[in-house]
């Protein structure tokens, strides 16, 4: 270790000297685990807190499933494509604002934009394009605009990482001041690893085309604990699998098939495409599509009893073997009733779909029930060969076929729009029903589908601001979350559909089924928060929104610009700053996940949170924390004892220091 | 990311339709039993699955072999419906390969056998992708000795390495089979795609035996940011978001870039080829195509153009990334020039499309112009390519029907389609543009095909059960026996005469021992105009080996039946020339009622 330190010091000394400058510079060296310099590593400087205008407002709250890099060129092409699509009548007029927002992004100054799973975004400026380390592992950026940056590293055979990264969450911001030359960056790259093994069935035979997943548990932005898939693959005819180029870390492994994965339409029809798009691997028709129940390493059926495997840098972990057993199949039976007549409808489409917790695998799990065997005489239906799992059973009355199919290509833009809208309206008016069916270890009977038509909720946004009404209400999305419908119920039109807010501040939400929802407002103009939301007399901001279907009251929203700001510093037990600490402002009303405000402290341990909705909060900081792990009840408990109560007043501005919770405490 | 969902995402929408059901009456049930054995050795195949489908029962969803169906044309849905009869629960063979369906409702069934490592096989199938022989189950009776022998599959595996010996990672490896499609075009079907792992290893298992080309790598059709992003996402999915060494080259086995120089791999039943290795450069030298786009109406470069290249190398454009190529990326409006770089030597088609800006207040479809040009890249950049774009145009027309339309069919339900002949741009750009060329006929028989891209076409009728195209004239000239050459405008448009009659041919199919052959295919092939796939007709023989062909357009034909032929293999000129003398000639007139018996052509090298 001493030797490595000396080596690194030597390398740093050799870094090219920087001339004094009103701008800043940053330089350093990239080494491997042994401290040897690594050439050819891509280093990019991502500027934080860049204002991209209305685009920022448009994407606020959007979190990609994994880190995503969008080159400016691609961005430009998407903008042009959207504009072209709109011109041709393929997009509804409400998209005008979005197209303008995308177009307004100063792509000429941008090399690429990197979106993180935690919702943050950094911009790699065109003036500071990514560089590659030289033969001695060195890199340098000069003439850098002062500001906060993330430094991102990627190289073939190494895990993509940010400077100071300790968890999957991300790295430490580096604050560069004018004239500052920060030349002591040392980045230790982690060699990627692989995990392989063999999956057998309970007869000892190789289990073919079984999906093997590498995952971790994480919390999503709504505070739900979820399995987060890192990568997945399928076994071959020998039952073998191999997952590679993995970022070292602690992971869980499972083997098995999602219900319906191998059945009927599920996979075969799109096998080749799927293989390429989803990395699911090779598929052939010359086999019996056998589904296996999911087993977790080291051989347990319950994901909560699963044991993580520790994947060390550079490891080639073999023999991660599992036994799986074939899934039993059951029947799901029930009845369809039209609520308007009280009778079974003469025709009905009944389908069964796997509810998958992983939205990226909708196509993989997806559709499986064609043969519902619907009998109009008594409204009964039956699905056979359904394996254990959670399903959405849906029914709808098909619209009568169109007299003349429309030749979309021969329509004018206006006609295209009108046509799409008429299709949408017809779809909304179609009677539908869907319920969740859990198949555990036997047939399911008595699934009752009561067909009805969804309702709409209208509302208005009022603005409280000294500066008058803000521009860009068009980006505000008033959404209803939760509700009775299953989340991925694509066949019955998903859940509530929010229409864009008009310039007058009115809005409408279609396809709302009776039930209890949570209100979520996204895309607010910069510097605004939702102060009030009422349905009649009921506060639906801090409590649930109950929709009965017969309710004609309008939703009343008040947004205000009187947000607060909070600056501060993190300190450890010795009173020293904690660079890279995960600082979180936790609302007293924990149900409102959107009010949790995470931010990472910079190299000096400082942080700044703006646009805070006034209210009571707890401020807490952790030395390191997985993304969204502050939703974990244990973390909340830690925050309650070690954090600091903070009251954010309207338009207030405060400076608070907070003691960080060390990693050892977790 | 909402913004990304706006990029063309591929979604296959499936709609289920449900027809009213009839109640089943209680009738005595029958049973069915048999065995499954391995072809060649006759060993029993245990754990084989038998799937029984009742005729008029749940529709079998056709499994697209080979190239994945990427997107359905707008407005088209895949129908996967139930006709109301309950599906039969599959059974599995025991250790001696035996199976039994103990209680079956009376009726006619088709049976299919599947087993891991064997080619999927319908009972009594006589030709690839053909139907099985139906089995009749009678109440109170046992149907026995339903014996199926299964062909063992083959495996191919190997390792891909760079010229410097490093493994080539995340590279798609596919087997291509040379075949014909229903329109008589030569295609290479991809029968499965695998990807190499971090050690460069790939494995394609349980492959149907046959002759295949092996192709590794992706196309090098230009360096487009969206394409790059898409491919990066694909790689990232496999590699946990970490950077994988990029591979831009490709090769056919045994290491060549042109399929003409490639060697086929003969996969015999039961083969396990383990070292089908390939070495090729991960970063081959690439070249650029540069040139100009000229709007032929103005002689000037258009203000906005989309220029792409489509590779003509088979197997490389089948992953749908052409769809993701955005507009304007390779084109500079100011100079009217384009540049597409990163191309390996090979044959390409440069396609330029221009969508005119809408005129405010003017209804009607937007004008689209297009042009294309084949370009060969060998060992240097190609400069000075000039692509002239011609506007899409309208083709008015009139349809006259000779004879009676079938009951319930009116002119308004008849549709007409222009089918591209040769490498028309519409084919290379994709489904969206090709869909333009379908039109519905008005009650008075008039129609108008809008936004037709310049190119060569022939006319096809859709939605008419029987009948044939008797006459097609374009601007007064014959367009039935020569393709329509459309350059964007027309004086008189199309005149189409459709005759509902046509000749009829009946006959019986026999083998060399004069035994009749049920469930076999008979193919009627025209003596002339073999580019017109509509003149090719097929029929499947019934239980007694008899077949019927109706609505045969007048002309000279030959009737063929092959013991072993691939689907659409009769479009292959080599196959035809070998068999030409063995066909039964038949002359058909509009009122013919011919009886022609056909002798099957035995499989080559068959016992």
pLDDT digits (tens, 9 = 90+) for B438-481: 777 888 989 988 778 778 888 888 777 678 889 999 999 999 88
CB atoms within 10 A of CB B142: 12
pLDDT grade, residue A655 (50/70/90)? very high
Question: In the prediction, which pLDDT does B415 show?
Answer: 83
Give yes or no for a contact between B353 and B428, defined as CB atoms under 8 angstroms apart.
no
Written in H, E and C, the secondary structure of B466-493 is CCEEEEEEECCEECCCCCEEECCCCCCC
Q: How far apart are CA B418 and CA B436, in angstroms?
A: 9
pLDDT at A224 over 80: no
Write out the two tokens for B21: 């059901």
Per-residue exposure over A275-309, b if at least 16 CB sit within 10 Å of its own CB, e if not: bbbbbbbbbbbbbbbbbbbbbbbeeeeeeeebeeb
**CB-count exposure of residue B430 (10 Å: 0-12, 13-18, 19+):** middle
Across A5-19, average pLDDT? 53
Q: Which conformational region is residue A105 in: left (phi greater than 0), alpha (psi within -120 to 50 degrees), or beta?
A: beta
A309 CB-near residues (< 8 Å, 6+ apart) = A195, A250, A251, A252, A253, A297, A317, A320
Q: Which of A491, A435, A451, A492 is nearest to A345 (CA)?
A: A451
Q: Which of residues 401-440 of A touch B (CB under 8 A)?
A: 404-415
pLDDT more than 90, % of chain B: 37
**Please, how many CA atoms are within 13 Å of residue B558, restricted to the half-sphere of its CB?**
16
Nearest beta carbon to residue A373 from set B82, B243, B355: B82
Distance from the Cα of A20 to chain B's closest Cα (Å) equals: 35
Q: Which of residues 35-94 of B touch A (CB under 8 A)?
A: 47-49, 58, 61, 63-70, 74-75, 80-82, 84, 86-87, 89
Interface check for B329 against chain A (CB to CB < 8 A): the answer is: yes
Q: Which chain B residues have a beta carbon less than 8 Å from that of A64?
A: 1
Q: How far apart are CA A249 and CA A314, in angstroms?
A: 11
Residue of B nearest to A67 (CA): B241
CB atoms within 10 A of CB A399: 11
Q: How far apart are CA B278 and CA B257, in angstroms?
A: 12
Q: Please report, for residues A409, A549, B432, the alpha-carbon distance to residue B75 in angstroms, rounded to integers and kept in the order given.
A: 11, 32, 11
Write out the two tokens for B306: 């989309």
Q: Which of A225-229, A589-593, B317-321 has the lowest mean pLDDT?
A: B317-321
Residue pairs between chains A and B whose CB atoms are closer than 8 Å: 284
pLDDT at A119 over 80: no
Question: In the prediction, which pLDDT does B465 show?
Answer: 66
In DSSP terms, B419 is beta-bridged to B458
Mean pLDDT (chain B) is 79
pLDDT at B327 over 50: no
Write out the two tokens for B326: 């955005």
Residue of A nearest to B246 (CA): A156
pLDDT tens digits, residue range B508-530?
Answer: 999 989 999 888 899 999 998 88
> What phi, psi does B26 have (nearest 5°)?
-75, 120
pLDDT at B335 over 50: yes
What is the fold, at CATH topology level, of the domain defined by A329-450?
A: Immunoglobulin-like (2.60.40)
Q: Give pTM, 2 decimals.
A: 0.80
pLDDT at A272 over 60: no
pLDDT grade, residue A305 (50/70/90)? very high
Partner-chain contact B117 A407, CB within 8 Å: no
Q: Which of A408-422, A537-551, B267-281, B422-436 has the lowest mean pLDDT?
A: B422-436
| Residue B20 or A477, more confident | A477
In DSSP terms, A25 is beta-bridged to A181
Write out the two tokens for A399: 């619209």
CB atoms within 10 A of CB A465: 14
Across B178-194, average pLDDT? 77
| Residue B220 or B580, more confident | B580
Max mean pLDDT range (A118-122, A305-309, B245-249) = A305-309
Q: How far apart are CA A638 and CA A622, in angstroms?
A: 9
pLDDT at B299 over 50: yes
pLDDT at A359 over 50: no
CATH superfamily of B14-150: Immunoglobulins (2.60.40.10)
Q: How far apart are CA B578 and CA B587, in angstroms?
A: 21
In DSSP terms, B272 is beta-bridged to B155
pLDDT grade, residue B435 (50/70/90)? very low
Going from N- to C-terminal start, the domains of chain B cover 14-150, 154-279, 292-312+321-357+367-387, 393-499, 503-599
* Domain covering A564-665 assigned CATH 1.20.1050.10 in the classification: no
Nearest beta carbon to residue A84 from set B14, B238, B327: B327
Write out the two tokens for A184: 């002591």
Across B322-329, average pLDDT? 46
A263 CB-near residues (< 8 Å, 6+ apart) = A289, A291, A368, A385
Going from N- to C-terminal start, the domains of chain A cover 2-188, 193-257+292-324, 329-450, 455-560, 564-665
pLDDT grade, residue A368 (50/70/90)? very low
Residue keyed to tokens 């909720």:
A457
Instruction: Measure CA of the first residue to CA of the last residue in chain A; give whole Å.
Output: 27
**Please, how many CA atoms are within 13 Å of residue A444, restricted to the half-sphere of its CB?**
26
pLDDT at A296 over 70: yes
Q: How far apart are CA B195 and CA B219, in angstroms?
A: 15
Interface check for B341 against chain A (CB to CB < 8 A): the answer is: no
What is the fold, at CATH topology level, of the domain defined by A455-560?
A: Immunoglobulin-like (2.60.40)
Distance from the Cα of B588 to chain A's closest Cα (Å) equals: 36
Across A644-663, average pLDDT? 94
pLDDT at A165 over 80: yes
Nearest beta carbon to residue B206 from set A287, A346, A363: A287
Q: Please report, for residues A103, B139, B361, the alpha-carbon distance to residue A512 in angstroms, rounded to integers and kept in the order given.
A: 33, 52, 36
Proportion of chain B in helix, strand, coil states, percent, rounded to 5? 10, 45, 50
pLDDT grade, residue B61 (50/70/90)? very low
Write out the two tokens for B413: 């339900």
Q: Which of residues 365-394 of B touch A (CB under 8 A)?
A: 365-366
Nearest beta carbon to residue B114 from set A159, A288, A346: A288
Interface check for B269 against chain A (CB to CB < 8 A): the answer is: no
Question: In the prediction, which pLDDT does A410 show?
Answer: 63
Max mean pLDDT range (A279-283, A535-539, B141-145, B155-159) = B155-159
> What phi, psi does A265 have (nearest 5°)?
-70, -25
Across B161-177, average pLDDT? 92
Max mean pLDDT range (A112-121, A223-232, B278-287) = B278-287
**Please, how many CA atoms are within 13 Å of residue A252, restricted to the half-sphere of its CB?**
22
Interface check for A74 against chain B (CB to CB < 8 A): the answer is: yes
A2-188 CATH: 2.60.40.10
B62 CB-near residues (< 8 Å, 6+ apart) = none
Q: How far apart are CA B512 and CA B107, in angstroms?
A: 33
DSSP E strands: which ranges in A126-263? Answer: 131-132, 138-144, 147-154, 161-162, 174-176, 181-188, 193-201, 211-219, 225-234, 240-246, 249-256
Q: How far apart are CA B577 and CA B422, in angstroms?
A: 22
Across B252-263, average pLDDT? 91
Question: In the prediction, which pLDDT does A3 show?
Answer: 43
Partner-chain contact A62 B365, CB within 8 Å: no
Give yes or no for a contact between A151 and A45, defined as CB atoms under 8 angstroms apart.
yes
B67 CB-near residues (< 8 Å, 6+ apart) = A272, B187, B189, B190, B318
Residue keyed to tokens 């987060």:
A228
Mean pLDDT (chain A) is 83
pLDDT grade, residue A26 (50/70/90)? very high
Max mean pLDDT range (B304-308, B407-411, B581-585) = B581-585
pLDDT tens digits, residue range A423-443?
Answer: 888 888 888 888 888 888 899
Across A319-338, average pLDDT? 91
> What phi, psi does A408 have (nearest 5°)?
-55, -35
pLDDT tens digits, residue range A558-578?
Answer: 999 999 999 999 999 899 999
Q: Which of A307, A322, A320, A312 is nearest to A196 (CA)?
A: A320
Same CATH fold, B503-599 and B154-279? yes
| Residue B427 or A206, more confident | A206
pLDDT at A371 over 80: no
Across B2-29, average pLDDT? 38
pLDDT at A263 over 50: no
Max mean pLDDT range (A40-44, A156-160, B435-439) = A40-44
Instruction: Measure CA of the first residue to CA of the last residue in chain B; give whole Å.
Output: 61
Q: Which of B248-252, B381-385, B602-606 has the lowest mean pLDDT?
A: B602-606
Peptide bond before residue B254 is cis, with ω within 30 degrees of 0: yes
Partner-chain contact A71 B229, CB within 8 Å: yes
Question: In the prediction, which pLDDT does B71 show?
Answer: 29
Give yes or no for a contact between B516 and B545, defined as CB atoms under 8 angstroms apart.
yes
User: Nearest 5°: CA angle at A208, between A207 and A211?
Assistant: 95
Distance from the Cα of B497 to chain A's closest Cα (Å) equals: 23
Instruction: Spell out the CATH class of B393-499.
Output: mainly beta
**Please, how many CA atoms are within 13 Å of residue B483, restricted to the half-sphere of its CB?**
18
Partner-chain contact B208 A158, CB within 8 Å: no
pLDDT at B297 over 60: yes
pLDDT tens digits, residue range A585-638?
Answer: 999 998 888 899 999 899 899 999 999 999 999 999 999 888 888 998 889 999
Write out the two tokens for B461: 């009728």
The helix (run of H) or strand (run of E) holding residue A301 is: none
Interface check for B153 against chain A (CB to CB < 8 A): the answer is: yes
Question: In the prediction, which pLDDT does A107 show?
Answer: 87
Distance from the Cα of A85 to chain B's closest Cα (Å) equals: 10
In DSSP terms, B370 is beta-bridged to B353, B390
Question: In the prediction, which pLDDT does B430 show?
Answer: 40
Distance from the Cα of B171 to chain A's closest Cα (Å) equals: 10
Question: In the prediction, which pLDDT does B433 show?
Answer: 46
Question: In the prediction, which pLDDT does B333 show?
Answer: 84
Question: In the prediction, which pLDDT does B515 show?
Answer: 92
Q: Rg of the Cα trace of chain B?
A: 27
Q: Which of A113-127, A441-455, B182-196 has the lowest mean pLDDT?
A: B182-196
Residue of B nearest to A263 (CA): B61
What is the fold, at CATH topology level, of the domain defined by B503-599?
A: Immunoglobulin-like (2.60.40)
CB atoms within 10 A of CB A539: 12
Question: In the prediction, which pLDDT does B437 show?
Answer: 61
Q: Which of A296, A317, A290, A319 is nearest to A201 (CA)?
A: A290
Partner-chain contact B206 A286, CB within 8 Å: yes
User: Between β-strands A506-512 and A497-498, what pairing exists: parallel, antiparallel or unpaired?
Assistant: antiparallel
Q: Which of A78-87, A287-296, B407-416, B516-525 has the lowest mean pLDDT?
A: A78-87
Question: In the prediction, which pLDDT does B18 show?
Answer: 30
Q: Which of residues 395-454 of B touch A (CB under 8 A)?
A: 412, 432, 435-436, 438-440, 450-451
Handedness of CA B298, B303, B306, B308 (dihedral sign): positive
Nearest beta carbon to residue B326 from set A80, A208, A282: A80
Q: Which of A80-89, B284-293, B420-429 has the lowest mean pLDDT?
A: B420-429
Question: In the prediction, which pLDDT does B424 show?
Answer: 45
pLDDT at A409 over 80: no
Q: How far apart are CA B468 and CA B481, in angstroms?
A: 13
- CATH architecture assignment, domain A193-257+292-324: Sandwich (2.60)
Question: In the prediction, which pLDDT does A9 show?
Answer: 57
Distance from the Cα of A68 to chain B's closest Cα (Å) equals: 8
Residue keyed to tokens 């020339």:
B577
Question: In the prediction, which pLDDT does B262 show?
Answer: 93
User: Which of B14, B82, B92, B243 would best serve as a mutation to test chain A binding (most A beta carbons within 10 A)?
Assistant: B243
Across A513-531, average pLDDT? 88
Write out the two tokens for B310: 């489509």
What is the fold, at CATH topology level, of the domain defined by B154-279?
A: Immunoglobulin-like (2.60.40)
């Amino acid at each position: 270790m001493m030797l490595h330190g000396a080596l690194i010091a030597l390398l740093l000394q050799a870094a090219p000297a920087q001339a004094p400058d009103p701008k800043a510079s940053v330089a350093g060296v990239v080494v491997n685990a042994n401290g040897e310099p690594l050439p050819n590593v891509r280093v990019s400087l991502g500027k934080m807190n860049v204002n991209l205008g209305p685009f920022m407002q448009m994407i606020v709250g959007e979190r990609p499933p994994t880190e995503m890099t969008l080159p400016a060129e691609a961005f430009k092409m998407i903008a042009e494509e959207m504009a072209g699509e709109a011109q041709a009548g393929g997009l509804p007029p409400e998209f005008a604002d979005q197209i303008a927002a995308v177009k307004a992004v100063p792509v000429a100054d941008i090399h690429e934009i990197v979106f993180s799973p935690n919702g943050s975004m950094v911009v790699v400026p065109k003036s500071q394009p990514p560089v590659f380390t030289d033969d001695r592992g060195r890199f340098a950026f000069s003439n850098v605009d002062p500001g906060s940056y993330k430094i991102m590293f990627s190289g073939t055979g190494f895990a993509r990482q940010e400077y100071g990264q300790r968890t999957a969450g991300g790295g430490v911001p580096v604050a560069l001041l004018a004239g500052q030359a920060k030349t002591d960056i040392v980045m230790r790259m982690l060699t990627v690893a692989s995990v392989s093994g063999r999956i057998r069935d309970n007869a000892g035979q190789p289990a073919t085309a079984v999906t093997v997943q590498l995952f971790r548990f994480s919390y999503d932005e709504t505070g739900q604990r979820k399995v987060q898939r890192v990568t997945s693959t399928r076994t071959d005819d020998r039952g073998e699998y191999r997952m590679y180029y993995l970022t070292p870390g602690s992971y869980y492994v499972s083997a098995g098939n999602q219900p319906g994965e191998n059945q009927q339409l599920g996979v075969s029809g799109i096998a080749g495409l799927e293989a390429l798009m989803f990395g699911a691997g090779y598929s052939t028709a010359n086999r019996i599509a056998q589904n296996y129940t999911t087993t977790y390493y080291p051989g347990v059926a319950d994901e909560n009893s699963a044991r993580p495997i520790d994947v060390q840098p550079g490891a080639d972990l073999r023999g991660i073997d599992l036994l799986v057993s074939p899934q039993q199949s059951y029947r799901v039976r029930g009845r369809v009733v039209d609520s308007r007549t009280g009778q079974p409808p003469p025709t009905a489409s009944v389908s069964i779909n796997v509810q998958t917790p992983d939205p990226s695998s909708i196509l993989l799990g997806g559709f499986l029930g064609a043969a519902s065997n619907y009998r109009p005489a008594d409204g009964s239906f039956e699905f056979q060969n359904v394996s254990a799992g959670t399903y959405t059973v849906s029914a709808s009355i098909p619209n009568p076929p169109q007299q003349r199919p429309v030749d979309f290509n021969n329509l004018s833009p206006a006609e295209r729009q009108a046509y799409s809208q008429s299709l949408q309206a017809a779809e909304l008016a179609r009677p539908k029903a869907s319920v969740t069916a859990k198949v555990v270890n036997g047939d399911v009977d008595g699934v009752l589908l009561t067909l009805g038509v969804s309702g709409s909720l209208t509302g208005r946004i009022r603005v409280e601001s000294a500066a008058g009404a803000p521009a860009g209400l068009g980006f505000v999305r008033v959404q209803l979350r939760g509700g009775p419908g299953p989340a991925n119920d694509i066949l019955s039109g998903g859940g509530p559909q929010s229409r864009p807010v008009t310039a007058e501040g009115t809005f409408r939400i279609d396809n709302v089924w009776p039930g209890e929802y949570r209100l979520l407002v996204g895309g607010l103009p910069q510097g605004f928060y939702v102060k009030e939301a009422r349905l009649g007399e009921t506060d639906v901001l801090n409590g649930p929104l109950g929709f009965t279907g017969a309710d004609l009251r309008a939703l009343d929203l008040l947004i205000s610009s009187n947000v607060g700001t909070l600056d501060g510093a993190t300190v450890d037990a010795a009173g020293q700053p904690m660079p890279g600490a995960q600082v979180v402002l936790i609302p007293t009303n924990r149900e409102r996940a959107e009010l949790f405000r995470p931010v990472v402290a910079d190299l000096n341990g400082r942080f700044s949170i703006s646009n805070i909705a006034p209210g009571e909060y707890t401020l807490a900081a952790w030395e390191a924390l997985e993304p969204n792990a502050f939703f974990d009840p244990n973390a909340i408990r830690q925050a309650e004892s070690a954090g600091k109560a903070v009251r954010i007043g309207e338009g207030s501005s405060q400076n608070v220091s907070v003691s960080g919770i060390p990693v050892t405490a977790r | 990311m909402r913004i990304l969902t706006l990029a063309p995402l591929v979604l296959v929408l499936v709609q289920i339709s449900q027809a009213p059901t009839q109640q089943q009456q209680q009738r005595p049930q029958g049973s069915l039993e048999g065995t499954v054995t391995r072809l060649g050795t006759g060993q029993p195949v245990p754990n084989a699955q038998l799937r029984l489908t009742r005729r008029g029962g749940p529709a079998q969803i056709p499994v697209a072999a080979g190239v994945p169906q990427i997107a359905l044309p707008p407005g088209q849905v895949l129908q996967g419906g139930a006709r109301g009869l309950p599906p039969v629960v599959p059974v599995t063979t025991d250790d001696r390969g035996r199976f039994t369906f103990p209680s079956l409702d009376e009726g006619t069934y088709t049976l299919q056998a599947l087993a891991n490592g064997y080619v999927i096989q319908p009972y009594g199938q006589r030709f690839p992708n053909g139907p099985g022989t139906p089995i009749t189950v009678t109440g109170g009776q046992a149907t026995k000795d339903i014996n199926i022998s299964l062909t063992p599959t083959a495996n191919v595996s190997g390792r891909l390495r760079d010229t410097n010996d490093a493994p080539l990672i995340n590279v798609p490896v596919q087997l291509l089979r040379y075949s014909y499609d229903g329109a008589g075009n030569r295609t290479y079907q991809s029968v499965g795609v695998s990807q190499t792992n971090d050690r460069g290893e790939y494995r394609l298992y349980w492959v149907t035996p046959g002759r295949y080309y092996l192709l590794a790598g992706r196309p090098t059709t230009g360096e487009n940011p969206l394409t790059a992003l898409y491919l990066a996402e694909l790689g990232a999915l496999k590699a946990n978001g970490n950077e994988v060494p990029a591979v831009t080259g490709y090769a056919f086995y045994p290491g060549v870039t042109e399929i003409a120089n490639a060697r086929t791999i003969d996969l015999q039943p039961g083969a396990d080829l383990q070292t089908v290795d390939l070495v090729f450069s991960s970063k081959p030298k690439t070249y650029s195509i540069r040139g100009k786009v000229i709007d032929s109406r103005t002689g000037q470069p258009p203000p906005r153009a989309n220029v792409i290249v489509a590779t003509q190398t088979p197997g490389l454009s089948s992953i749908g990334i052409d769809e993701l190529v955005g507009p304007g990326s390779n084109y500079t409006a100011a100079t009217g020039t384009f540049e597409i770089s990163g191309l390996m030597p090979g044959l390409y088609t440069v396609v330029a499309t221009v969508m005119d800006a809408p005129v405010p207040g003017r209804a009607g479809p937007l004008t689209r112009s297009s042009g294309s040009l084949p370009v060969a890249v060998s060992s240097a950049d190609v400069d000075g390519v000039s692509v002239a774009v011609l506007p899409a145009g309208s083709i008015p027309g009139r349809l006259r029907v000779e004879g009676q339309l079938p009951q319930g069919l009116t002119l308004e339900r008849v549709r007409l389609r222009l089918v591209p002949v040769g490498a028309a741009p519409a084919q290379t750009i994709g489904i969206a543009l090709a869909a333009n060329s379908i039109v519905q006929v008005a009650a008075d028989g008039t129609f108008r095909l809008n936004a037709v891209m310049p190119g060569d076409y022939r006319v096809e009728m859709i939605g008419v059960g029987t009948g044939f195209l008797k006459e097609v004239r374009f601007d007064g000239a014959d367009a039935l026996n020569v393709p329509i050459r459309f350059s964007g405008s027309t004086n008189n448009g199309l005149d189409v005469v459709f005759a509902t009659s046509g000749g009829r041919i009946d006959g019986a199919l026999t083998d060399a021992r004069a035994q009749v052959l049920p469930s076999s295919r008979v193919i009627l092939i025209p003596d002339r105009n073999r580019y017109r796939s509509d003149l090719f007709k097929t029929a499947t023989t019934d239980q007694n080996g008899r077949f019927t062909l109706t609505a045969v357009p007048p002309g000279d034909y030959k009737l063929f039946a092959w013991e072993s032929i691939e689907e659409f293999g009769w479009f292959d000129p080599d196959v035809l020339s070998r068999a030409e003398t063995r066909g039964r000639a038949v002359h058909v007139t509009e009122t013919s009622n011919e009886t022609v018996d056909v002798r099957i052509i035995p499989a080559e090298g068959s016992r």
